[in-house]
Structure 1
Amino acid sequence: MIITRKSLIFIFNHILDTISSMNKLIKKLNDFNELVMFKHSIFSLPFIFIAMIVSAQGWFGFKLLVLGIMAAITARNFAMGFNRFMDRDIDALNPRTINRPNVDGRLNAKQIFIFTFLNALGFIAVAYFVNDLALYLAIPILIIIGSYSYFKRFSYFAHIILGISLGLAPIAGVVAVSESIPFWSILLSIGVMFWVAGFDLLYSLQDIEVDKKLGLHSIPSKFGVQKTMLFSKIFHILTIAFWLLFVVFSDSSYFAYLAVILSALMLSYEHYLVNKDFRKIDKAFFTVNGYLGILFFILIVLDNIFFV
């Protein structure tokens, strides 16, 4: 077979086109990654698996591991995609969010809607393969986690709704393993709800002036900085209280108690950072809370290795 100069040029151009297409695809995937802030999955994933480990009293199997990860990713992608779709007008007026992909033209409304819709379908499909109760709860869960985008337009309870959305993670985890909702999982979920609502209050301090200007309902814009920080402290005290009750009612042992103690110390440090310097809100929000979930998970794993 003779390879002509024309054939070589064709092959070379085809390779260049393929590379160009791959680069465009990678760029688009990065835009969607930035849209949903995938790294924030670190807040919910540990508590899904904490509930699964406690429910199974140890290892729950590779099938549920894969399904649990897929459920967490699709649910969060739906929630964030829907939020970014609904908040295009708000984000365009906020200096902190003006460079997001849903605002600066990198992703248009149609692309975001399709992405959100496909993730909703993906979540329902995953629930189908988990068990009947998971499937029955799939659509109500999607409605709850999608409602956050509306609440901040008319209610100061938006922070609680966000907390409830992530607080559903342990419920989803225990349903996947036992197809039931034991009392200890509700306590764990309420703790997660107050944890998330508490650090969301701190994070919202960045947008006080914008919220006031746009007429959005947030606790910081309504009650001011000091009361918001007080509410956040109260929420995090309740977090520790409910997590302690979770340990008691789940018959967990020493490592689980240690997880609660260390969580209390880390939340105290988070408030120390914000009190000291508002510019450290990002560090308090991402770093401290991210490590908290991972550490809690590791200690629950150890608790189930040595004391079950």
Structure 2
Amino acid sequence: MMRWSTFKKMVMLEQTVFGLTWVLAAALLPLADAGTQVHWAEPARWLALVAAFLSARVAGMAFNRIIDRDIDAANPRTKDRVLPSGEASLLQVKLVAALSSFGFVGACASINPILAWASPFLLLLIYVYAYTKRFTSLCHFVMGLISGLGPVCAWAAMTDSIALAPVLMGLALLCSIAAMDIIYALQDLDYDAAHGLHSIPVRLGRSRSVYLSRVLHACTVLALMLVGLSLNLHWTYYCGIVGIAGLLVFHHASLRPSHNTWIYRSFFAVNARVGIAVLFIVVEVLAWGVMS
């Protein structure tokens, strides 16, 4: 039996806030659209949505640990992960991957036919992502795509439909995750280049990778603005997005791309703050709608 502390370390549980806040924001967002029927008062649907998100995250992290175990063992930065360090056995991690995969498909199937149909393809994409750094520098965008599908699925879970607004929110998350993952990959630039692994930093170098990350974060802000326009949201929404833009500008102004400790801490801090801000902004806009 895997210990709880080992499980938390394997799935990096503290990072869950990155995507969960966006998923919850997208699940609440249909309430701002008077023309959309929303199943917001069904506790079972909310529980299934959160269960699906958590199961997908656990499955993805377990897949990565299994597939990358030899790479992790050889990389000084990752040699203390649960498989190289011996904290967990390969069988234990495979069992976690299998159970979480079944949990994800089951949770999706309990929500509606859209997610039931989509869940095997989403799971396949999560699995394939673990191999992408072996053959393409676009691996960061595959990670972003997986994350970006979260808001689309959350909207579908609450409305039994798909619309432009969650696609735009998913695009914003895709760009944000890809931008931060490119910066995060700077830590492994020398190792990846020496061992034939692919990433944007290996392909473009340090300075151009940072520039691309800035462009992607600009696209994040633009996509979030378009979410507001697509739903004709209250003006306070746009003020909140300007605040997120300010946070990202500050992050890039203080970026130290050669300082691995700074990159590691900043990765968690910025992703968490942006996600929390998005959720807060959506809740605030809905509150304004109720009061007005």
TM-score (norm 2): 0.93
Letter paired with 1:46: T
1: distance between equivalents of 2:127 and 2:234?
36
Tell me, yes or no, if the aligned pair for 1:151 and 1:158 is still in contact at 8 Å. yes
Moved more, 77-86 or 102-111: 102-111
Aligned position for 2:142: 161
What's 2:277 paired with? Answer: 295
Partner of 1:42: 17
Query: Offset of 1:115 from its aligned partner?
Result: 0.5
| TM-superposed deviation, 1:302 | 1.2
Determine helix, strand or coil for the equivalent of 2:223. helix
Q: Which blocks of at least 5 consecutive residues in structure 2 are unaligned?
A: 33-37
Task: Give the C-alpha shift of residue 249 in structure 1.
Answer: 0.3
Provide the aligned C-alpha RMSD in A: 1.6
1:243 to 207, 224, 227: 224
Greater gyration radius: 1
- Structure 1 equivalent of residue 116 of structure 2: 135
SS in 2 for 1:147: helix
Cα deviation, residue 277, structure 1: 6.6
| Contact 1:255-1:300 at 8 Å conserved across structures | no
> AA paired with 2:133?
K
Out of 130, 133, 147, the residue aligned to residue 149 of structure 1 is 130
DSSP-derived class of the 2:176 partner: helix
**Does the 8 A contact of 2:39 with 2:158 survive in 1?**
no
Secondary structure at the aligned position of 1:274 is classed as coil
Letter in 1 for 2:160: E
Following TM superposition, the consecutive aligned residue runs of length 4 or more in structure 1 with deviations greater than 4 angstroms are none
Checking the alignment, whether the CA contact within 8 Å between 2:251 and 2:270 is kept in structure 1 is yes
2: CA distance between counterparts of 1:134 and 1:203? 31
Letter in 1 for 2:29: V
Counterpart residue number, 1:228 = 209
- Partner residue, 2:199: 218
Give the TM-score normalised by the residue count of structure 1: 0.88
Q: CA deviation at 1:146?
A: 2.0
Q: Is the 8 A contact 1:174 1:180 kept in 2?
A: yes
Q: Structure 1 unaligned runs (5+)? A: 1-24
The answer as to 2:82 corresponding to 1:107 is no
Q: Is the 8 A contact 2:256 2:262 kept in 1?
A: no
Q: What are the superposed Cα offsets for residues 239-290 of structure 1, whole Å, 9 maximum, x if unpaired?
A: 1111111111022212321221111111112212224872411232111220
2:64 equivalent in structure 1? 83
The aligned amino acid for 2:173 is V
